[in-house]
Chains A and B, each alone.
Chain A
Amino acid sequence: MKEHAHNCPGSMMMDRRKDSDAAEAATGKVGSQLRQWPIQLHLIGPTAPYYQGADVLLVADCVAYALGGFHPEYLKGKAIAIACPKLDEGQDVYVEKIKAWFDDAKINTLTVMIMEVPCCMGLSALAERALAAAGRKVPVKRIVVGLDGEIRKEEWL
């Protein structure tokens, strides 16, 4: 793996072509587990039917590209929204929407999936702010995904 010096680990260039070639690639058609639209956090309605009482994934944009088994292992059976805590604007709206999941959609659990780069922790922080402001509490889990597609950490907050 080649790395190049850069100030920010979130946008540091990495060349992993050799590692990727070595990894075993799944063959055959992999069915999508996506059961809703839209998915971008600015576009979703937090009380849409598929969020009611659901186990919800709040996923940083890059995660699904890094994690080979994202659809069958994580998305299956869950509702989803995606966001980028580094580039997206209007993140106070995000906090309100996540809070509405807790209070109004009465979701069952929230799993925040982020990359291991420092800026991605911002998404987890938004979820924690929303949980602190919500009247109804639910279990919130954080899954940190490595740039190599491995799970670095999985913990209940």
Chain B
Amino acid sequence: MDKIMQGRIKELIVRHPKVGDVLAEFGVACVTCAVGTCLLKDILEIHRLAPEDEQRMLTRIAEIVYPDRKVVVPLRKSEPQKKTGEPFHSPPLRKLVEEHALIKRVLARIPGMLRQMDLDTTEGRQLALASVDFIRSFADKCHHAKEEDILFKCFDGNLDIIKVMLDDHETGRAHVRAIRDAIERRDTAAAVKHLKGYRQLLTEHIRKEDEVLYPWMDRQLSDTEIGRLFSAFAAADAPMAETRRRSQEFISMLEQRFGDAERGPR
């Protein structure tokens, strides 16, 4: 079992595809991860399933990997229940979750926006440019920058889960550059393709952070680190008041124009 625990999850799934189904059944979405270099032991630590669920999941994985052997998986010792309401977010991480909520309101309106997108019109180009401005100024400079410059620096940068998140940020930036280029070329099809790609990427990225990464980080951070993070976030946000105001205006405009019916990712 130790060999499985020390193995990279993608390699395990490639060799034993049914392992991916078992993980998905327990809410561990490694199959959809583009990187997959996390070790199974780290995945268990990050997801922190109930001890009984963890034991059942590992037993089934062992049955798939070693069909001829009987592997006994011990029950992890249960920690005292200290926290109520899952997922548990400390004030600085709660702030990031609140920013996610704003980003999700924009992501939810992208399908409606795409149906009417026409880069041959001035109005169409302005709307597309405003979307790029929101992504760059709020989602990237205000939100992702706090993660990259402050939060992630509290952790070992070699951790796979951090690398996966940074990869997502870079992929998102590549989509935004492609959207910007498409607007300049008035290539509506390319802009639609990359806005769809960005929406899909960010929807999954936010889910991973809200449900897996942030609760795991909260468990690792001491109260002292939580306090320092909170102050560092406040200092980083101080010069961003105008960006926040502009972003709120943009979201209100989108919601007024494309309605509430599109609240897919919310």
**Residue ranges of A at the interface with B (Cβ–Cβ < 8 Å):** 55, 77, 107-109, 111, 137-139, 141, 150-151, 153-156
Contacts and interface: CB of A to CB of B under 8 A. Distances in A.
B227 A153 contact: no
Given A55-B224, A138-B227, A151-B82, 16 more contacts: A77-B224, A108-B228, A109-B224, A137-B234, A139-B92, A139-B223, A139-B230, A141-B223, A151-B80, A153-B84, A154-B83, A155-B88, A156-B88, A156-B89, A156-B90, A156-B226
B82 A139 contact: no
Contacts of A111: 223
Contacts of B227: 55, 107-109, 138-139
Contacts of B228: 108
Contacts of A141: 223
B91 interface: yes
B226 A139 contact: yes
A153 B82 contact: yes
Nearest to A111: B223
Interface string B203-218: 0000000000000000
Contacts of A109: 223-224, 226-227, 230
Given A55-B227, A139-B227, A150 B80 contact: yes
For the complex of A and B, the 6 pairs showing the least CB-CB separation, nearest first, are A108-B227, A109-B227, A154-B82, A139-B91, A156-B90, A109-B223
B90 A139 contact: yes
Contacts of B27: none
A138 B80 contact: no
B84 A108 contact: no
5 contacts: A109-B227, A137-B230, A139-B91, A139-B92, A156-B88
Contacts of B224: 55, 77, 108-109
Contacts of B234: 137
Interface centre among A55, A77, A139 (most CB of B within 10 A): A139
Contacts of A108: 224, 227-228, 231
B246 interface: no
B85 interface: yes
Nearest to A153: B84
B85 A155 contact: yes
A156 B234 CA distance: 17
Contacts of A154: 82-83
A124 to B, nearest CB: 14
